[in-house]
Amino acid sequence: MNWDDTAPPTSEDSAAGAPDRLVGADADGEDTAVEAALRPKDLEEFVGQERVREQLDLVLRAARARGATADHVLLSGAPGLGKTTLSMIIAAEMGAPIRITSGPAIQHAGDLAAILSSLQEGEVLFLDEIHRMSRPAEEMLYMAMEDFRVDVIVGKGPGATAIPLELPPFTLVGATTRAGLLPPPLRDRFGFTAHMEFYAPAELQRVIHRSAGLLDVEIEAEGAAEIAGRSRGTPRIANRLLRRVRDYAQVKADGVITREIASQALGVYEVDARGLDRLDRAVLTALLKLFGGGPVGLSTLAVAVGEERETVEEVAEPFLVREGLLARTPRGRIATPAAWDHLGLVPPQQRAGAGGQQGLFGA
C-alpha cells in the first residue's frame, strides 16, 4: 500500500523503507532551505528546554568570564528538537566560528585529523550523529577532546610512526539521538551533557508564532494552538505544518491562519488532531479492527497494513507508543483504551458487555 505519495522521504524513514512524511522528524530538502531563516540566534530566543538553557547559559557565561574555551557539550534527543540550533547558539554566544560535520562523514581517523588540525582557536566543532563515527576516529577524538592533541599515523605495518600534532583549544558539540549507544569513555569526556525533551504544546505555540512572524504570516492564537497540538512535540514538524497551513490559507482563504483553517488544512494533509498521519492510523486501525486490539505479532500487523516490518516498527510505532496508544509486549502488540477512544471504536469486551445486557433485558 502506498500510504503517502505526496510527502517527501526522510533519512530515518527511508532507512526503514518508508516514503517521506509530513510528520517525519528528520529534515527534508525544503526544511533545510527554510530552517536557516527560522533558527533562533541566541539563548534568549530559543523557546522551551528551560533547564538545558539555564545550565548552558551558566557554562557559557563562566567560560566567557574566564576568557576560556567552553567545555565540550553533548546534546542528546530526538531529531528536530533543536540540537543543531543550540550548537550554533553556543558558537554565537562565545563569539566563535562553527564547523559542522557528522559521524557518518568521518569514516577514517584521517578524515577527523584533517578537520581537527584546521580548527581555529576557540572554534566550535558540531559533530551530528556522533554515535555513527568509526571506531578509529572515535579513539582519536578521545585524545583530541582531553589533551587537544592527536597522533597522526604515517605509514603502515612495522614502519608506521605516530606524529603528535598539537591542536588549538576548541569546543566539541556532539549530538546524538541515541545517547545510550555512546561508549562511556566518549560520554565521560563531555563537560556538560544535556538531554532535550519533546516540547509542550504551549512551547510549540510560541515556536509557531515566532516562525509565522518571520515568514510574514498572520496567525491567530487558536490557529497556532491547532498546529501545535498536531506537531508531535517537535519544532521542526511544527514549522513544516505551519508552512503547509500557510499555503492552504493563501489559496483557500484570505491568508490568515485561524483554528478552522488550520484544522481544514491539516485534514487535507491527513494529519489528525493528535498528529497521527495515514500510516499511524492504518497500523492502529488494523490492530483494532482486524485483531480486536491484539496481542498480535509485528510481522502479522505489517502484512495487514501492507508495509515492511521495519516501517511499522521504526516509523509508526515509536510515536504510537509515546502517545500511549500502542504497547509492545512479549506476546505482541496491543492497543490501549486510548487507541479505541482515538479512533472512535468500541473495544470487544465493552461490546460483549452491551450485547450481554441486551441478551438479558432485550426483547
Q: Work out whether 182 is an interface residue with ligand ATP (CB under 6 A).
A: no
Q: Work out whether 46 is an interface residue with ligand ATP (CB under 6 A).
A: yes
Spatial contact of 268 and 7, defined as CB atoms under 8 Å apart: no
Give just the sign of the alpha carbon dihedral 295, 270, 18, 20: negative
Active-site residue, 53 included: no
Active-site residue, 177 included: yes
Q: Work out whether 232 is an interface residue with ligand ATP (CB under 6 A).
A: no
Q: Work out whether 83 is an interface residue with ligand ATP (CB under 6 A).
A: yes
Among 207, 217, 287, 335, binds ligand ATP (CB under 6 A): 207
Active-site residue, 193 included: no
Residues 12-41: x/- map of binding to ligand ATP (CB under 6 A)?
Answer: --------------xx-------x--xxx-
Alpha carbon distances (Å) from 247 to 34, 215, 255, 261, 341:
15, 12, 8, 11, 31
Closer CB to ligand ATP, 229 or 294, in the complex: 229
Q: Work out whether 205 is an interface residue with ligand ATP (CB under 6 A).
A: no
Alpha carbon distances (Å) from 112 to 73, 139, 162:
18, 11, 15
As a whole number of angstroms, the distance between CA 214 and CA 216 comes to 5
Of the candidates 200, 344, 343, 346, the one whose C-alpha atom is nearest the C-alpha of residue 280 is 343
> Which residues define the annotated binding site for ATP?
38-39, 80, 83-85, 146-148, 189, 199, 236
Active-site residue, 128 included: yes
Indicate which residue of 20, 26, 28, 128 is catalytic. 128
Residues 115-144: x/- map of binding to ligand ATP (CB under 6 A)?
Answer: -------------x----------------
Q: Work out whether 85 is an interface residue with ligand ATP (CB under 6 A).
A: yes
* Widest Cα–Cα separation across the chain: 96
Spatial contact of 196 and 79, defined as CB atoms under 8 Å apart: no
Active-site residue, 277 included: no
Q: Is 348 helix (H, G, I), strand (E, B) or coil?
A: helix
Bridge partners, 101 (sequence order): 127
Beta strands in 89-148 (DSSP E): 98-102, 124-128
Residue 40: CB minimum distance to ligand ATP, A: 5
Q: Work out whether 233 is an interface residue with ligand ATP (CB under 6 A).
A: no
As a whole number of angstroms, the distance between CA 188 and CA 183 comes to 9
Closer CB to ligand ATP, 70 or 208, in the complex: 208
As a whole number of angstroms, the distance between CA 243 and CA 251 comes to 13
Task: Report which residue's Cβ sits closest to ligand ATP.
Answer: 82
Q: Work out whether 103 is an interface residue with ligand ATP (CB under 6 A).
A: no
As a whole number of angstroms, the distance between CA 37 and CA 153 comes to 42
Span interacting with ligand ATP, options 47-55, 60-68, 180-188, 293-301, rule CB under 6 A? 47-55
Which residues are known catalytic residues?
A: 83-84, 128, 177, 236
Binding site for ligand ATP (CB under 6 A): 26-27, 35, 38-40, 46-49, 79-85, 128, 207, 235-236, 239
